[in-house]
Amino acid sequence: MIIGRRIRCQVRPRGEPVDQLMKPTCKICGSVFFPEPLIRLGGMPKAAQFLPCADQLKLEQGVDLEVCQCRGCGLVQLPAEPVPYYREVVRAAAFSPAMEAFRKKQFRAFVNAFRLRGKKVLEPGCGRGEYLRLMAGAGVKACGLEYSAASVRQCVKSGLKASRGFVASPAKIKGGPFQAFFTLNFLEHLPDPVSFLSGIAANLSEGGVGLVEVPNFDMIVKKKLFSEFIPDHLLYFTSGAFSSLLQRSGFKILELRPVWHDYILSAVVRKRAQLDLADFETGRSAIKKKLLAYISRFKPGRVAAWGAGHQALAVMALAGLGGRLRYVVDSAPFKQGKYTPATHLPIVPPQRLDQDPVDAVIVMAASYSDEVASILRKKYGRRLAVAILRDHGLEQR
């Protein structure tokens, strides 16, 4: 099963016209591409892991690649279906001693920075356990998830904890929730990286962190490395496009920088928490209490408000001031003669204060409040009580 938007492949047999293909869209944001491809590469290998045998040579031919860019998020990508084995991590060669030393140091720093020793850390796309072993060596409970059954068996044979699977949705992952995860040079293969990362986020505990890496397309562009394009890699991330993906997938970026001789973009992320606006309700209740207490100091119908802006209208509604104020003064002619929404108070011009006087005015004119209060104090003196609504409550003038 292929995950994500289903589009016909533009990594196509040589000679197939482009206009016969369905118009593709971005694999991350769904926007359309710029009208023309960034580059066309003819006669390319059709997959990194496809090596034809002698009896296949007569039928085997290269493919034409078109490298496109999304007009929405800017991601560079191949408008194509993934290779058949995209859910499997294939590392044909063991990493060098230098890379192993780099990873050991990197993993130790990650574990220490977030106090992960003894905690469950997931590697989705763990392959045969090459990096899972190193992460386990950093003192965590490393758990691997891999689509290849043969690779899972190799992990288990090596004493590692791994199970077969692939993250394609927020469905529950066996062994979760996890306190952290890491995925290295895997996202670029995926047709729907948002579903992959969102699925991981759904299986992290609150505050869960991650280490996410992709090949650095900024460096590829700088060094003009045309040979980096291959059908296996659907996505080519600049730092900006990588940031956009991570944020869209439910993560806050703590750090993003190039590593390993600039070949890799490495991001440290944290699962985004929902904002806590409990203080808003506390503030609303406090303001309401102060407004009602102030109004109660005067006889019924002897208090007005000044200001029919959106903030004032919201305060009147949330504080339940309908029927408690005589009217609302506003100097904007297009508002006068109408009523406040929800509270149904008449909106009147400033002259109404002379024609139908009140004992007090609560000024709710946002940034103009001090100016309005000064005008009222100058014109009416102490015979009119004036209070300004501030963020912290009422200020009497």
Residue 94: Cβ within 10 Å count:
10
Over residues 122-132, the pLDDT tens digits come to 999 999 999 99
pLDDT at 226 over 50: yes
Q: What is the pLDDT of residue 49?
A: 84
What does the pLDDT look like over 134-146, one tens digit per residue?
999 999 999 999 9
User: What's residue 10's pLDDT?
Assistant: 46
Q: What is the pLDDT of residues 146-159, one digit of tens each?
A: 999 999 999 999 99
pLDDT value for 5:
35
Indicate the domain borders of the chain.
97-271, 281-396
Cβ-Cβ contacts under 8 Å for 139 (sequence gap 6 or more): 111, 116, 117, 118
Contact yes or no for 151/160 (Cβ under 8 A): no
Q: Is 8's pLDDT higher than 60? A: no
* Superfamily covering domain 281-396: NAD(P)-binding Rossmann-like Domain (3.40.50.720)
**In the predicted model, what is the mean pLDDT of residues 350-363?**
98
**161-178 confidence digits (pLDDT tens):** 999 999 999 899 999 999
- pLDDT of 283-305, one tens digit each? 999 999 999 999 999 999 999 99
Vertex 130 angle, CA 209 and 245, to 5°: 40
CA atoms of 386 and 376, how far apart (whole Å): 8
CA 364 to chain centre: 36
Name the percent of the chain lying above pLDDT 90: 85
Helix 278-295 vs helix 310-318: crossing angle, to nearest 10? 80
pLDDT for residue 128: 96
Residue 223 is encoded by which pair of tokens?
A: 């060094």
Residue closest to 170 by CA, chosen among 205, 196, 190: 196
pLDDT tens, position by position, 10-54: 444 444 444 444 678 999 999 999 999 999 999 999 988 888 889
Give the pLDDT confidence score for residue 1 in this predicted structure.
26
* pLDDT in the model for residue 93: 56
Q: What's residue 3's pLDDT?
A: 31
* Beta bridge partners of residue 142, listed in sequence order: 121
The three-class DSSP label of residue 41 is: strand
Specify whether the CB–CB gap between 330 and 336 falls below 8 A. yes
Write out pLDDT tens, residues 249-258: 999 999 999 9
Tell me if 97-271 shares its fold with 281-396: yes
Q: Pick 97-271's CATH classification: 3.40.50.920, 3.60.20.10, 3.40.718.10, 3.40.50.150.
A: 3.40.50.150
Listed in order, strand segments (DSSP E) in the chain are 12-13, 39-44, 63-69, 76-77, 120-124, 141-146, 161-164, 178-184, 204-215, 235-236, 251-259, 264-271, 303-306, 328-329, 347-348, 360-363, 385-390, 393-396
Give the pTM. 0.83
Instruction: Name, in order, each residue with C-beta under 8 angstroms of 73's C-beta and a sequence gap of 6 or more.
Output: 26, 28, 29, 31, 241, 244, 245
Out of 110-114, 170-174, 327-331, 352-356, least confident range = 170-174
Provide the pLDDT confidence category of residue 92 given band limits of 50, 70 and 90. Answer: low
Helices and strands, counts by H and E, the chain: 10, 18
Average pLDDT, the chain: 92
Contact criterion met (CB below 8 Å) for 118 and 141:
yes
Name residue, tokens 């991650």: 210
